[in-house]
Chain A
Amino acid sequence: MSITIRNLTRRFGQTEVLRGIDLEIRSGELVALLGPSGSGKTTLLKIIAGLDWPDAGQLTVSNEDWLAKKAQERRTGFVFQHYALFPHMNVRENIAFGLRVLPAAQRPAEADIAGRVAKLLHFLQIDALAYRFPAELSGGQRQRVALGRALAIDPEVLLLDEPFGALDAQVRRDLRRWLREVHDATGSTTIFVTHDQEEAFELADRVVVMGAGRIEQIGRPDEIYDNPATPFVARFLGLTVELPVVVRGGRIEAEGLDISALTLPAHPDGPATLFLRPADIGLVPDPRGSYRVTELSSTGALLRLRLEGPADCSIEVETPRRLGQNLAVGQTVLLRPEAGQIFQQAAPRAIAHAA
């Protein structure tokens, strides 16, 4: 089921939650909506499910206008952040719910429902939990039941809101792999919302980065990681070090910077901002360097340093501890960025982050 979204807007009172979303999702794709809280990603998901309605725009699924359809008729499998399992029903009853509430003409016989539930329980590897109540399940088990309940109705589109948000790290990693397998096995079009970039990049075919109600970038995970399209995406993906530079004749010039290791696409001349990940900056001890180490702490594997540079700029840098044996507070260094992105005079941080 391919999904086409055109110029979707949603306002809550004065706040514009979605400001013109255009998005095309292919049939069978696994797409992540990635963004900080307040970026409108959950609202977009709810609009696709029919739990919220846009103020303007179009939503077409397989050439059908879904805005003319009620949520009940859309057959989306929605998995809620906190699962929303019906507390008074056991696992089997929860999974069977979507089949039992079908109009009498379409409802399968009770035996068929039982068979389908049993098959799903087996597929989701939760056969043993059939007669438990949600209160008796762990977070990861609830997640599986919630997915089972959503899959029971053979959804055209599977939507997951922060599917791993409430789980601890180990369960998260296991379930991530498992969700990918489920997606590949069912072949449904799947969209999930997350604020965790690692999760989005590991799991999704394509990632949609959202910020303040707009789509900032769409692309394959590596594409986005290597080439963030906007300062917002760069900051969100951890390129938190921002250095003012000047581009002259296609070359980057900045005090105390050794850019020989850096390859960047051509950039028009003029003042610009260089975005770097703290871990992508090499440090070369140099008595004439213009950055001075003011703080130094170890996390075991990494050394975290605070550097003061020209024009009162202060930056944070991470480097593997074994490479930083020769660093000490008070020392001056040269920065040698290994990867980064350059943008024309980026908006100041504070404004870009207000959402």
Chain B
Amino acid sequence: MTPVNAPASTRRSKRVLPGFGLTMGMTLTYLGVIVLLPVIALVLKGAEIGPARFFAIATAPRTMAALQLTLTAAAMATVFNAVYGLLMAWVLVRYDFPGKRLLDAMVDIPFALPTAVAGLALSALFATNGWYGALLEPLGIKVVFTIWGVAVAMSFTSIPFVIRAVQPVLEDLDPQYEQAAVTLGAHPFTIFCRVIFPAILPAFLVGVTLSFARSLGEFGAVVFIAGNLPMETEIASLLAVIRLEEYDYNGASVIALMLLLIALLLLAVSNLMQAQALRYKGGGS
């Protein structure tokens, strides 16, 4: 029961953890220097060329083709990761089997592996004389130098996001919800759809969003397997690099800005969906 007119000094000393000013200051400074300033610089760089030229570069056929390929491949990779990542998280949480811990550790390999190594390994596997390529070739499926290759590389490097986002939430899910559903007559598939999935949906959305964002920006693994043919298998980040090497700073920053815009839009949509999925916690006690 603090008196309303308590002196400021005693109110300050009420904070339980010391160091708020220092830690908050460092956090904001770092955020400003490392994240905010570069983004502002990018926006300014893009803005200085004027809307007409910006629009011209953004809608140039090669830019459009690169963006379209990047988005399509990232969407394909994300759909695959969403399904497979959920499955993998489910297996890792729900069942006990020999080698479970090893499998769990392997999930992090795509994060730990330098992306160039991943790209090299994938293109060797999927090349027409590689293990997978040799099998797929007779079926008329070509992966290397096509959008499929791009999607495979993106999926490989971003799948841990979905697994690692869903796993802890699934682990913490109280088994009583499922038991309650069982006594009420619900069968396993119904329980998954109506009880378990809604509970993990927010985390799942986070994982899927991060996976998509990472796929959009994936560079190292993709350039090895894509073949990088202009207008066909050239991803947006690579086009930005090419523009930069041509000393076309404006062209590079326009492409970068477009990617940034897509990523921000994605984050906004994902946050809205999460808020929607979590609305029941609103009045929470």
Interfacial residues, chain A to chain B (CB-CB below 8 A): 49-51, 71-78, 80, 82, 84-90, 97-98, 101-102, 132-136, 149-150, 153
Residue B9, interface by CB 8 Å: no
Instruction: Write out the residue numbers on chain A whose beta carbons fall within 8 Å of the beta carbon of B184.
Output: 97-98, 101, 149-150, 153
User: A73–B198 Cα gap in the complex (Å)?
Assistant: 25
Chain A nearest Cβ from B50, distance in angstroms: 49
Interchain CB contact (< 8 A) of B186 among A77, A78, A80, A101: A101
User: A83–B198 Cα gap in the complex (Å)?
Assistant: 18
Residue B245, interface by CB 8 Å: no
Residue B138, interface by CB 8 Å: no
Determine if A49 and B183 form an interchain contact, defined as CB atoms under 8 angstroms apart: yes
User: A84–B190 Cα gap in the complex (Å)?
Assistant: 17
Residue B99, interface by CB 8 Å: no
Chain B nearest Cβ from A235, distance in angstroms: 32
Interchain CB contact (< 8 A) of A135 among B190, B195, B198, B284: B284
Instruction: Write out the residue numbers on chain A whose beta carbons fall within 8 Å of the beta carbon of B281.
Output: 87, 133, 135
Determine if B185 and A98 form an interchain contact, defined as CB atoms under 8 angstroms apart: yes
User: A88–B283 Cα gap in the complex (Å)?
Assistant: 12
Interchain CB contact (< 8 A) of A136 among B187, B277, B284: B284
The 8 closest A-B pairs by CB, nearest first: A98-B184, A84-B176, A136-B283, A78-B183, A133-B280, A101-B186, A84-B180, A88-B198
Instruction: Write out the residue numbers on chain B whose beta carbons fall within 8 Å of the beta carbon of A89.
Output: 280
Also in contact, A136 and B285, with CB within 8 A (given A84-B176, A88-B280)? yes
| Contact-residue size bin, chain B (C-beta under 8 Å from the other chain) | 20 to 34
Interface centre among B182, B198, B282 (most CB of A within 10 A): B182
Instruction: Write out the residue numbers on chain A whose beta carbons fall within 8 Å of the beta carbon of B277.
Output: 88
Chain B nearest Cβ from A167, distance in angstroms: 15
Chain B residue, CB-CB nearest to A134: B280
Interfacial residues, chain B to chain A (CB-CB below 8 A): 174, 176-177, 179-187, 190, 194-195, 198-199, 277, 280-285
User: A153–B181 Cα gap in the complex (Å)?
Assistant: 12
Determine if A133 and B282 form an interchain contact, defined as CB atoms under 8 angstroms apart: yes
Also in contact, A101 and B199, with CB within 8 A (given A71-B183, A136-B285)? no
Interface on chain B toward A: helix, strand, loop, or mixed SS? helix
Chain B nearest Cβ from A157, distance in angstroms: 10
Chain A nearest Cβ from B135, distance in angstroms: 43
Interface centre among A74, A98, A153 (most CB of B within 10 A): A98
* 8 pairs, CB–CB < 8 Å, chain A vs chain B: A50-B182, A82-B176, A86-B181, A97-B194, A101-B184, A101-B186, A134-B280, A150-B184
User: A206–B177 Cα gap in the complex (Å)?
Assistant: 30
Also in contact, A78 and B185, with CB within 8 A (given A87-B199, A136-B283)? no
Chain B nearest Cβ from A233, distance in angstroms: 31
Instruction: Write out the residue numbers on chain B whose beta carbons fall within 8 Å of the beta carbon of A135.
Output: 280-285
Chain B residue, CB-CB nearest to A82: B176
Instruction: Write out the residue numbers on chain A whose beta carbons fall within 8 Å of the beta carbon of B177.
Output: 84, 86
Determine if B185 and A153 form an interchain contact, defined as CB atoms under 8 angstroms apart: yes
Chain A nearest Cβ from B185, distance in angstroms: 5
User: A134–B184 Cα gap in the complex (Å)?
Assistant: 18
Also in contact, A97 and B186, with CB within 8 A (given A87-B280, A87-B281, A135-B285)? yes
Instruction: Write out the residue numbers on chain A whose beta carbons fall within 8 Å of the beta carbon of B179.
Output: 51, 78, 80, 84
Determine if B180 and A80 form an interchain contact, defined as CB atoms under 8 angstroms apart: yes
Determine if B176 and A80 form an interchain contact, defined as CB atoms under 8 angstroms apart: yes
Determine if A84 and B174 form an interchain contact, defined as CB atoms under 8 angstroms apart: yes
Chain B nearest Cβ from A80, distance in angstroms: 5
Instruction: Write out the residue numbers on chain B whose beta carbons fall within 8 Å of the beta carbon of A85.
Output: 180
Instruction: Write out the residue numbers on chain B whose beta carbons fall within 8 Å of the beta carbon of A50.
Output: 182-183
Chain A nearest Cβ from B73, distance in angstroms: 33
Also in contact, A86 and B187, with CB within 8 A (given A101-B181, A135-B284)? no
Interchain CB contact (< 8 A) of B183 among A76, A82, A86, A90: A76
